[in-house]
Amino acid sequence: MATSKIFRKDILKDKVAFVTGGGSGICKGMAEAMIRHGAKAVITSRSQEKLDKAAEEMRKQTGGEILAVAADVRKPEEIVNVVEKAIERFGKIDILVNGAAGNFLAPAETLSYRAFRTVIEIDLLGTYNTTKACFPYLKRSKGCIINVSATLHYQSTLYQSHVSAAKAGIDALSRNLAAEWGPYSIRVNSIAPGPIAGTEGVAKLLPSFAAESATRNIPLQRMGTISDVEQATIFLASDAASFITGQIIVVDGGESLRKVGVLPYPESVINPTNFSKKLSVKL
């Protein structure tokens, strides 16, 4: 259901949202939803071309104001540049969404040192870098942060050791910053989506042979939608959540309550070559 059927149209009027990973998938949805409810948005990721296309689509959909500037969240100087451009254009930042992330299925056994580091650098350090760069402005605006986490690390998820470690780190960072920055009236929360249909994450992580059983294992009996995450975003970004900080809103239809591994165990051990082909895992 569209957020506009539930929340007031101007609930985020005049707010400025800064969204990493905002050129595609879930975070594009989060940015667009906030614009629909009155915010202006800054979207950033590595590809300027992708951002420009996304910004154009969002302008058409919402008529809102969007600034699109490329940066790699692993490089603090690039993120600082986007923050400076955001301040030049809009004068403030009220809402930070840390959504930029990288992932692929890979058994820990074959993951290279650099592969593990890459995911930690994008997800965890990228979240810290962006948060740090935005902090002075969030302090001024008494703003809020929404980190995009996951549920992979609540128990364990095969072939996701790198991302599980990164997202667990993001959850720890969120709680600590919520405590440290509460006195500045900065709220820090996370959204932990389950499998969200039609996204790069699902395309990469949920092979088609496992999709049906994965859906059957979700208590609410469906995959999530980007719109499900948008609803949680508008709630957390708005004054409806003004006394909520340090929390993780799990948007997964109950999947993490009864996580059942949908990817096979023994095949990777018994027949690694075949396993690799089936999951497109680089071994």
Residue 278 contact partner, candidates ligand NAP, ligand COA, none, CB within 5 to 8 A by sort of partner: none
Strands, sheet with 248-251, edge to edge from the N-terminal-most edge strand: 66-68, 40-44, 16-20, 95-98, 144-148, 187-193, 248-251
Residue 177 parent element (H or E): helix 161-181
169 binds, among ligand COA, ligand NAP, none (CB under 5 to 8 A by kind): none
The interface region with ligand NAP, picked from 20-28, 80-88, 108-116, 260-268 by CB under 6 A, is: 20-28
Report yes or no: 243 and 144 within 8 Å, Cβ to Cβ. no
Reported as half-sphere exposure (CB side, CA atoms, 13 A), residue 29 has a value of: 21
DSSP string, 58-94: HHHHH---EEE----TT-HHHHHHHHHHHHHHHS---
CB of 163 to ligand NAP, least distance (A): 7
Query: How far is the C-alpha of 159 from the C-alpha of 129, rounded, in Å?
Result: 26
Which of the choices ligand NAP, ligand COA, none does residue 73 contact, using the CB cut-off of 5 to 8 A by kind?
ligand NAP
| Among 87, 115, 211, 248, interactor with ligand COA by CB under 6 A | 115
Q: Tell me if 193 contacts ligand NAP by CB under 6 A.
A: yes
Q: Is 234 in the site for ligand NAP (CB under 6 A)?
A: no
Q: Using CB distances below 5 to 8 A depending on partner kind, what does residue 99 bind out of ligand COA, ligand NAP, none?
A: ligand NAP
Residue located via tokens 């259901």 = 1
Judged by CB under 6 A, does residue 277 bind ligand COA?
no
Q: Which is nearer to ligand NAP, 48 or 185 (CB)?
A: 48
* Under 8 Å between Cβ of 218 and 253: yes
Nearest to ligand COA of 21, 64 (CB atom): 21
Report in angstroms the alpha-carbon separations of 59 from 19, 63, 66, 177, 250. 15, 5, 7, 33, 29
Instruction: Return the one option of ligand NAP, ligand COA, none that residue 65 interacts with (CB less than 5 to 8 A, by type).
Output: none
Positions touching ligand NAP (CB under 6 A) are 20-21, 23-27, 45-47, 50, 72-74, 99-102, 122, 126, 148, 150, 193, 195-196, 199-202
